[in-house]
Every structure is written in structure tokens, then in C-alpha cells.
């Protein structure tokens, strides 16, 4: 089942790009950034923003933000104004707070004593309440409720405020990490570099790609001398559409500096002794796009394997295996393969229901999810069905679907939740 009804977690996408070599290069950074956002759109559809820098000593930052999908938020003239960027970061946002305003749209850009920084953030701070208090006690007014503004102000005020000409951003980032252990994947743009940061628990994903000539994209021998640019992204699924090769993950606790000269690991901040990494399980279960790779595994494969495991742990005596379209489909196929039961579609989804203004009256409200899912009656009438789901933990959609399928003739319905499988 898909994310849109979920209230779990803050699902956002971050993406960054630096053109490699002598600037300006042939690489159109603004285009790469916008295509990267489109590829991460499943992580957030509320708003989108891009900030580019020309990377000069006195850098010129250009930013554009807008509500809605990338396609709505970025009309041609917006991309035009970003075209002189040699590096940039961007963000696509899914709001968990329900406050949908341009003001909350990332990346945040602020002027600090040492110049302007731009920050894009995916995650939720465990101690945000205490941190807000701390920042405000220092005398900072916070203009949004967002963790991302909080992180930005923490980076700005991190003591000791150096009186040196060159600020020590690594020290500042480490200080931030000492203030808040999890969860965040961060991109921080400062002049001509991007710092890519993952919290010590590695809760949210972040990985690096290398932009190569299209002709070398599928040759295994492409060396670093081919590199046209570097990209950093919440998910590797974005690399394919911009012509980048998967390079590596940012490690839990790692601070990576990405510049036109390449990728450099600056530090890896350790977890408290005894603590384990805590990669967000929901990334595997339904946040991520199935073609993304986390920890060396394709997400689709993990989902499918969970379905197989479920078939072993929770076998059922039914006629067919199905699912609610569409994030649990790999798990359902895995369950079918393992159990030997036929995989059969029982519902088709109306993709246009999303944002309709129609407020149905009582009569129509009773029809529940019927607006959203069409019933493929002939496929299951008179049969016993096991429905593989990935989101019972949210539990807000499955019961009307059960009702819908029962009324359409399923003689027996079992629900098996892959997110509860071990």
C-alpha cells in the first residue's frame, strides 16, 4: 500500500549535485537537480525547492521553491533563473505536520557570520522540543516549527563562534551531531562545497553517485577521470535518470565533503558504545522506490524476500494470493512463489482520485474506498484470498477494502502484513 495516507515518519527527499572539473562545465546542474527531484517525488509531493550556487569566492546563491509537484513548482522560467549554478542542493517535502506552507519549504538559506549556507534535511529530531528551547534561550526567534530550520540555526550558532576568517564547518556539524543523535540525512551547501551528513544511527538513507558520459554509463571500466559531476541523493533510484553510476553510501555518522575535486570523507562520528545502527525499516517496507539500493540490496528484492518469509512463517490455506496496489506487490509475488499459490490481482487503482475537491455527502461517504479502487470481481468471486499488506501498522485503509472484497464475493479473506514479518 502506498504512503499517501500514512502518518508515520517524515518522508522527504534530498538531492545535491556538483559539476566536476573547471567551472563552468557542460553539465547543466539545474537540470540534473530537477530530474533528481522528479525521481525522488515519491518521497514528498507537498513542495519542492532548489538552491544553486555559482561557487565563487563571494558566491551567488539562487533559489526557487514552490508548492506541489516538481512539475508544478518549477515552470521553465524557474529553471532558467537557476542556470548559472555550478553546484546545488534540493529538497522535496512530505508534510507530517499538516502545515502546508511555502515558508516550510526547503532548502533553508540563511546568512551567518561566515557567509550564506543552504540546508536540506530529511528526518525527524528525537529531541527537537528540548533543542528548540535551547536555541530560543540563546535568543533566536524560530519562524517555523520545522526541525530543518532548527538544524540550520544550530549550525549558525554552534559555539564557539570562530573569529577566524575561515569557519570550521566540520566542527560545527560535529557539534550538531552531539546535540542531536538522530534522525537526519543532511546536505549543507557552503560556497563551493556540499557537506553530506548522515546521523550516527544511519536512520535515513543517503548515497553518492558519479555522473559519467552517457556512452560510459554501462561500461564497467569508467575511471574517475571520466567524472562529469557528483550527485548525492536520498535514494539511488535517481541516478539512472540523470546518467550517474552508483558510487557508495554515506556511512552512518559520516561527514562527506563533495566538491568539484571529488568526494572526501572528513570524519565518521561513532555511535554511543553498544548502540546498533537503526536504519528505518519503513524505507524498505514502503517509503523507498523498489529499484533503489540500500546496504547493497535492491529494495524490491528485500520486499520479495519478506513475502517469501511470510509464506513460511504464516502459511495459509486459500485459493489465491493478492495485494492492495501497489507497494506490497513484490511481497505478494514472493509469497506466491514460496507458497505455490497463484498470484492474482483483485483491485485496480484509480490514479486520479488524489486531490479531488469533491466532499461527498453521507450517502457517498459510505461507499468508502470504492472511489479509489476498482474491484476485479471475476478474478476472485467465490474464492479464498490472502491479501499481503505492508502497512497494517497504520491500519486506516485495510478494513474498508476487506468489506469491499467481501461484498464483491470473496468467500474468505486473510490479511498478512509483511511489515510485521521478521
Query: 163 or 273: whose CB is closer to its own copies?
Result: 163
- Return the number of the residue (240 or 259) whose C-beta is nearest its own copies: 240
Closest distance of CB 163 from its own copies, Å = 9
User: If binding means CB under 8 A, how many residues of this protein chain bind its own copies?
Assistant: 96
E strand intervals along 283-337 = 293-294, 297-298, 320-323
**Interaction with its own copies in 94-133: which residues (CB under 8 A)?**
102-103, 108-113, 117, 132-133
Q: Among residue numbers 161 through 190, which ones bind its own copies (CB under 8 A)?
A: 161
Is cis: bond before 183, omega within 30 of 0?
yes
CB of 107 to its own copies, least distance (A): 11
Strands 115-122 and 229-233: unpaired
Of 237-276, which residues contact its own copies (CB under 8 A)?
237, 240-243
Tell me whether residue 30 or residue 252 sits nearer to its own copies (CB atom): 30
Looking at the Cβ atoms of 153 and 391, the one nearer to its own copies is 153
Residue among 23, 282, 335, 343 that touches its own copies (CB under 8 A): 343
Contacts of residue 373, defined as CB under 8 A and 6 or more positions apart, other chains included, come to 324, 325, 347, 348, 349, 350, 401, 404
- CA distance linking residue 18 with residue 209, whole number of Å: 11
Tell me if 141 contacts its own copies by CB under 8 A.
Answer: yes
Q: How many CB atoms lie within 10 A of CB 273?
A: 5
**Bridging pattern class, strands 229-233 and 13-19:** antiparallel
Q: How far apart are CA 228 and CA 168, in angstroms?
A: 28
Burial group, residue 113, by CB count within 10 angstroms (0-12, 13-18, 19+): exposed
Q: Which of 12, 90, 280, 306 is catalytic?
A: 12
CA dist 415 and 422 (Å) reads 16
**343 contacts 332 by C-beta, under 8 angstroms:** yes
Pairing of strands 47-53, 373-375: unpaired
Out of 127, 301, 399, 411, which residue is the one contacting its own copies (CB under 8 A)?
301
- Interface stretch with its own copies, choices 16-24, 33-41, 185-193, 200-208 (CB under 8 A): 33-41
Single out the residue of 58, 164, 214, 276 in contact with its own copies (rule: CB under 8 A).
214
* Binding of its own copies by 340 (CB under 8 A): no
Q: How far is the CB of 155 from its own copies (least distance, A)?
A: 7
Nearer to its own copies, 70 or 120 (CB): 70
Nearer to its own copies by Cβ, of 139 and 272: the residue is: 139
User: Which of 306-314, 325-333, 394-402, 413-421 is the region at the interface with its own copies (rule: CB under 8 A)?
Assistant: 325-333
Residue 189 and residue 258 in contact, taking contact as beta carbons nearer than 8 Å: no
What is the C-alpha separation between 135 and 117, in angstroms, rounded? Answer: 18
If we measure between CA atoms, which residue out of 181, 184, 227, 221 comes closest to residue 208? 227
Q: Interface mask (CB under 8 A) for its own copies, residues 1-30, using x and -?
A: -------------------------xxx--
411: contact with its own copies by CB under 8 A: no
Q: Which is nearer to its own copies, 137 or 382 (CB)?
A: 137
User: Judged by CB under 8 A, which stretch of 8-16, 41-49, 120-128, 387-395 contacts its own copies?
Assistant: 41-49
Cα separation, 177 vs 10, in Å, equals 19
Q: Closest Cα partner for 66 from 15, 10, 22, 105?
A: 105
User: Any idea of the CA torsion for 290, 399, 344, 283, to the nearest 10 degrees?
Assistant: 10
Which one of residues 175, 371, 392, 420 is an interface residue with its own copies (CB under 8 A)?
371
Residue 207 annotated as catalytic: no
Shortest separation between residue 240's beta carbon and its own copies, angstroms: 5
**Residues 67 to 86 in contact with its own copies, rule: CB under 8 A:** 69-71, 74-76, 79
Three-state secondary structure call for residue 231? strand
Check residue 221 for interaction with its own copies (CB under 8 A).
no
- List active site positions: 12
Amino acid at each position: 500500500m502506498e504512503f499517501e495516507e500514512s502518518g508515520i515518519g517524515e518522508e522527504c527527499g534530498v538531492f545535491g549535485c556538483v559539476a566536476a572539473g573547471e567551472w563552468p562545465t557542460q553539465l547543466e546542474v539545474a537540470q540534473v537537480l530537477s530530474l533528481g527531484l522528479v525521481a525522488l517525488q515519491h518521497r514528498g509531493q507537498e513542495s519542492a525547492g532548489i538552491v544553486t550556487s555559482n561557487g565563487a569566492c563571494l558566491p551567488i546563491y539562487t533559489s526557487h521553491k514552490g508548492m506541489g509537484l516538481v512539475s508544478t513548482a518549477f515552470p521553465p522560467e524557474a529553471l532558467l533563473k537557476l542556470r548559472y549554478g555550478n553546484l546545488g542542493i534540493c529538497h522535496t517535502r512530505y508534510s507530517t505536520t499538516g502545515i502546508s506552507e511555502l515558508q516550510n519549504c526547503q532548502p533553508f538559506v540563511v546568512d551567518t557570520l561566515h557567509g550564506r549556507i543552504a540546508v536540506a534535511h530529511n528526518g525527524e529530531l528525537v529531541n527537537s522540543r528540548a533543542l528548540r528551547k535551547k536555541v530560543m534561550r540563546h535568543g533566536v526567534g524560530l519562524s517555523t516549527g520545522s526541525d530543518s530550520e532548527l538544524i540550520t540555526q544550530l549550525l549558525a550558532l554552534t559555539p564557539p563562534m570562530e573569529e577566524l576568517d575561515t569557519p570550521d564547518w566540520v566542527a560545527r556539524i560535529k557539534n550538531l551531531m552531539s546535540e542531536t543523535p538522530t534522525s537526519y540525512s543532511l546536505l549543507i551547501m557552503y560556497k563551493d562545497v556540499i557537506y553530506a551528513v548522515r546521523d550516527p544511527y544511519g536512520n535515513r538513507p543517503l548515497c553518492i553517485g558519479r555522473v559519467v558520459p552517457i556512452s560510459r554509463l554501462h561500461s564497467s571500466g569508467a575511471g574517475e577521470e571520466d567524472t562529469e559531476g557528483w550527485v548525492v541523493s536520498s535514494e539511488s533510484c535517481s541516478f539512472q535518470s540523470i546518467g550517474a553510476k552508483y558510487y557508495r553510501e554515506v556511512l552512518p555518522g559520516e561527514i562527506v565533503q563533495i566538491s568539484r575535486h571529488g568526494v572526501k570523507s572528513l570524519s565518521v562520528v561513532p555511535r554511543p558504545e553498544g548502540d546498533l545502527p537503526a536504519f528505518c525499516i519503513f524505507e524498505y517496507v514502503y517509503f523507498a522506490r523498489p529499484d533503489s539500493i540500500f546496504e547493497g540490496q535492491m529494495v524490491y528484492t528485500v520486499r520479495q524476500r519478506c513475502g517469501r518469509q511470510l509464506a513460511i512463517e504464516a502459511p495459509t490455506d486459500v485459493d489465491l494470493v493478492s495485494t492492495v496496489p501497489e507497494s506490497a506487490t513484490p511481497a505478494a509475488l514472493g509469497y506466491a512463489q514460496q507458497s505455490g499459490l497463484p498470484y492474482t490481482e483483485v483491485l485496480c487503482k484509480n490514479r486520479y482520485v488524489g486531490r479531488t475537491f469533491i466532499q461527498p455527502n453521507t450517502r457517498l461517504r459510505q461507499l468508502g474506498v470504492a472511489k479509489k479502487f476498482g474491484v476485479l470481481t471475476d478474478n476472485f468471486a467465490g474464492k479464498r484470498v490472502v491479501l499481503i499488506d505492508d502497512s497494517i501498522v497504520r491500519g486506516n485503509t485495510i478494513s474498508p477494502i476487506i468489506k469491499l472484497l467481501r461484498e464483491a464475493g470473496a468467500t474468505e479473506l486473510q490479511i498478512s502484513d509483511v511489515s510485521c514479518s521478521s
